[in-house]
Structures are given as structure tokens and as C-alpha cells.
Amino acid sequence: MAHLMPSGSNHRLGNLDEKSKAIIVELQHDGRKSYSAIGKSVGLSEAAVRQRVSRLIESGVMEIVAVTDPLSLGFARQAMVGVKVRGDISKVADRLHGYDEIDYLVVTAGSFDLLVEIVCESDRHLIEFVNQELRSIDAVVDTELFMYLSLEKQKYNWGTR
Amino acid sequence: MAHLMPSGSNHRLGNLDEKSKAIIVELQHDGRKSYSAIGKSVGLSEAAVRQRVSRLIESGVMEIVAVTDPLSLGFARQAMVGVKVRGDISKVADRLHGYDEIDYLVVTAGSFDLLVEIVCESDRHLIEFVNQELRSIDAVVDTELFMYLSLEKQKYNWGTR
DNA sequence: AGTGAAACGACCGTAGA
DNA sequence: TCTACGGTCGTTTCACT
């Protein structure tokens, strides 16, 4: 995704006209909606819609994917961990990047240097992961765990309100 | 999404056979892949794949949607806010639910009662939102702000590793 | 960047095991 | 819950603007 693109790339709101935004909104509700149906509702031919969608995807503005629910798939425990780092934050971030248990990782300014979201099958797995993989890192000075009790809201349609 | 389903629902890993999991994995990479192409690679007819996908979506195991990049759309400022609440946490959560600026909202156990992710166009908008909409709530005792410096990892394919 | 048309392939409903 | 099949609709390619 574009989050990870070099910061020199400049795909901004200004590049997108009303039709592209309308296309995005339709696909945010149903990622498999046919191009011709979208074309009818936004006033473009099917080919034009397809071309725009390709460009939006290639430029990293959006992706069309299946988003799955961890609970339904047996991953019942989630937590956010605030991490305080000594030294190079990016180094720690890079090290954490590969873990399957981590599905969200942000460098922050504040009383934590990193926020790490963890998804696990069980409490046991979660605690083990935090102790053995996070807290055992030398550069990790401190961690604070926030167990998820209930996910109240989650949206993926940033930017188009 | 299924996160928001009544907690009595029990769609678990055990309900999904290898073929359904394989279908999910394909759609996690390309949400528009044709049912017949998926059928070829997992060993099912087009109709069977279609039926399974419908069931997976209807039961809340997944959804197929466009996921957009806030940066590309001009929403350059993100932050996580830890919120400490006095009294009924759900009441505060409900109140926050409708804000467009909030794209992620979790009730947590730990030194915060809520974690709130905020997406905004500018620092100014973000600060105003935190002060005027979050900190002004009576039941909100304390907040702590974590400004996002860089999003290192974000994945949506929970559960299928 | 866009349209339109023709060939092709995907999708949907239904029937049957 | 699967396969099979026919009608319909969507997608692809290409020539043109």
C-alpha cells in the first residue's frame, strides 16, 4: 500500500476528480461491483471506469481485497502494545516487521515510540509473544499492554467521507 | 463486519475447510479475481466458489472492498489517542462512534479505557478535534496523544497466515 | 482520456445428483 | 453442497476521436 511508498510520491486529493472519488466510494461498499454498473452510476463508459480503477490501484491510492475478521477465523485475542525504545527506533521497527502476530505497526511521537497491534489465537500465545519477542529486545526499554475488550469501530475508507 | 456482530455468533476456524481458506487467500491478494480462475486453482467449479464466497461474506467472515490510502487522498495526519473514562465506557464509545475523524475505536483493559485512531487533513484539524470533541466530554478524565510519524506495517489478512 | 462495437469469457439461476 | 448447462451480462481488445 501507499503508506509504504517513498515519501517523494505525491498522489493527493487534487489529482482526483469527482468521478474517481465516486468510483472509489462505490468500490468501498462492494469491491466486486462491475465496471459497467459503476459506469452507469457515475456517467462513464465501462472502459473508462476500468482504466481509472487500474490507475488508482497502480498508483497506490487503493487496493481491492478481501478483508477478514480475525474473530471469525479463530484469532480471538488482540492487544495494542506501546513500546518505548532506546536508540534507533527504525531498527526495532524493521525487526518487528516480519512477525505474523503483528498486523499494525506505527512509529509515534509521544510517551511511546512505537504502537504495535497484535493478533493471536489465545491469551497464552499473546503473553508469550509480548514477553519473548518484544520485551526481550535490548533496545526495548519499556512496554505497556492494552488488551482489546471490544472493537467498536473499524473503517477502511479513509479519505472519502 | 463481523467484529460488530453479536458475540453469540460463532464462526470459527474449524468451520472452514482448506478450500475455503484457499479461496480467502486468493481474494486477499486480488479481490476481483474471477470465480472461475479461483475454482481452477483450488479445484472447485465456478458455481461452488461463488456459493462459498457468498456464504463467507454473508456470515461476516470477510468482505471484499476497496481499501484506500489516507495519505494519497490528502489526509496526512494520523494519531492514536488513549482515553481514560469515568463511568460508563460504552456510553463514551457510542458517542464517539459517529465521528468521521475516527476510523478505529477499541475498548481496552489497561491504563486507557479506549483507544481512538484519528485521521485528519491537518495538524490544526486534529488538535481541534481532540480538544473540542474528545477532551470536552465530561466522562473523559484524561487523554494521551500519540502522533503518527510513519506507518510501518498494516495488514488486513488476519487469520490466514 | 474518452467512446463504441464485436468476440470472448464470466456470472447467474436452475436442475439434478 | 457439489456439478452441469444455457442465457445474460460484463470484460477485453481494437479502431477511432
pLDDT at B158: 66
Residue of A nearest to B112 (CA): A146
CB atoms within 10 A of CB A54: 10
Q: Å from A14 to nearest chain B CA?
A: 8
Query: Rounded CA gap, A21 and A160, in Å?
Result: 7
Show which positions of strand C are touched by protein (CB under 7 A): 1-5, 9-14
Question: For residue A119, what are the contacts with CB-CB under 8 A and spacing of at least 6?
Answer: A70, A75, A77, A78, A101, A103, B158, B159
User: Of A11-25, B49-63, B105-119, B126-140, where does mean pLDDT reach its minimum?
Assistant: A11-25
Average pLDDT in chain B: 89
Cα distances (angstroms) measured from residue A81 to each of A94, A134, B116, B138: 16, 9, 14, 27
Residue of A nearest to B121 (CA): A159
pLDDT over threshold 80, residue B10: no
CB distance B103 to B117 below 8 Å = yes
Query: Rounded CA gap, A46 and A95, in Å?
Result: 45
User: Residues contacting strand C at CB < 7 A?
Assistant: A 19, 44-45, 47-48, 51-52, 55; B 34-37, 46-47, 50
Torsion of CA A87, A89, A90, A96, to 10 degrees: 110
B98 pLDDT band (50/70/90 cuts)?
very high
Scanning the structure block, which residue is given the C-alpha cell 462505490? Answer: A26
More confident residue, A157 or B105: B105
Query: Rounded CA gap, A75 and A66, in Å?
Result: 17
Q: Is B127 an interface residue toward A (CB < 8 Å)?
A: no
What are the backbone dihedrals phi and psi of residue A156, each rounded to the nearest 5 degrees, phi first? -115, -5
A155 pLDDT band (50/70/90 cuts)?
confident
CB distance A106 to B150 below 8 Å = yes
Q: What is the tens place of the pLDDT at every residue in A58-103? A: 999 999 999 999 988 888 899 999 999 999 999 999 999 999 999 9
B71 pLDDT band (50/70/90 cuts)?
confident
Question: For residue A142, what are the contacts with CB-CB under 8 A and spacing of at least 6?
Answer: A83, A84
B2 pLDDT band (50/70/90 cuts)?
very low
Residues B62-66: what's their mean pLDDT? 95
CB distance B63 to A64 below 8 Å = no
pLDDT over threshold 90, residue B4: no
Determine the residue type at B50. Answer: R
Span A70-147 CATH architecture: 2-Layer Sandwich (3.30)
Domain boundary assignment for chain A: 18-59, 70-147
B12 pLDDT band (50/70/90 cuts)?
very low
Residues of chain A with C-beta less than 8 angstroms from the C-beta of B79: 108
For chain B positions 5-34, those within 8 Å of chain A (CB to CB) are 11-14, 16, 24, 27-32
Q: How far is the CA of A1 from the C1' of D9 (A)?
A: 32
Show which positions of strand D are touched by protein (CB under 7 A): 1-5, 9-14
Q: What's the pTM?
A: 0.86
pLDDT-above-70 percentage for chain B: 88
| Equal CATH topology for A18-59 and A70-147 | no
A13 pLDDT band (50/70/90 cuts)?
very low
At the topology level, CATH places domain B18-59 in: Arc Repressor Mutant, subunit A (1.10.10)
Q: What is the tens place of the pLDDT at every residue in B114-161? A: 999 999 999 999 999 999 999 999 999 999 999 999 999 988 766 565
Coil vs helix vs strand at B132? helix
